[in-house]
Amino acid sequence: MKVLSLNFLSCAVKGCKSSSDSYPLHPKDAELVQDDIEVNAQLLINLLPRIDWTALTTTATELGFPALPPQAPTPEELEADEAKLKDLHHLLMETQIMEGKLVCASCGHEYAVREGIANFLLPSHLV
Ligand SMILES: [Zn+2]
């Protein structure tokens, strides 16, 4: 799964809906692969307002990436700065979690990631 997808996922456990700790999920024992995908500047610029930047900075640090700036770049900044654009593209689009777990900080549930797919099916007592 792409790092981008992780930015749109929170814990599915019923009791976690109201907890701010249930987002973002925290990667654990993550095995990363890097895909080589052509940069689509317009796509990234359009996505930017929908990205939760605070969550992304947490995820990037947890995955061992260099720290992101505390504030998200504006679309204009991103458009004008090719290095920044490429870094963001690399993190969001090219980096995939292939194996590992995604852990909820609220309830501790661990979602397994296998072959790049996160399993969000919950045991019945948690639904
Ligand atoms: Zn949870």
Domains delineated in the chain: 3-126 (2.20.25.10)
Concatenate the DSSP letters of all residues of 18-50 into one string.
Answer: T-GGGSS-EEEEEEEEE------HHHHHHHGGG
pTM of the full structure: 0.93
- Give distance in angstroms: CA of 9 to centre of ligand 1: 11
Please choose, from the candidates 9, 5, 10, the residue with its C-alpha nearest in 3D space to the C-alpha of residue 21. 10
Task: Give the mean model confidence (pLDDT) for residues 77-81.
Answer: 94
CA of 102 to the centre of ligand 1 (A): 10
**CA 17 to ligand 1 center in whole angstroms:** 8
Whether the pLDDT of residue 105 is over 90: the answer is yes
pLDDT tens-digit readout, 23-76: 999 999 999 999 999 999 999 999 999 999 999 999 999 999 999 999 999 999
- β-pairing verdict for 110-114 and 117-118: antiparallel
Percent of the chain with pLDDT over 90: 94
Three-class SS state of 14: helix
Radius of gyration of the chain from Cα atoms?
Answer: 15
Q: In the numeric block, which tokens belong to residue 75?
A: 């679309």
Distance CA 81, CA 40 (A): 14
Q: How far is the CA of 44 from the centre of ligand 1 (A)?
A: 29
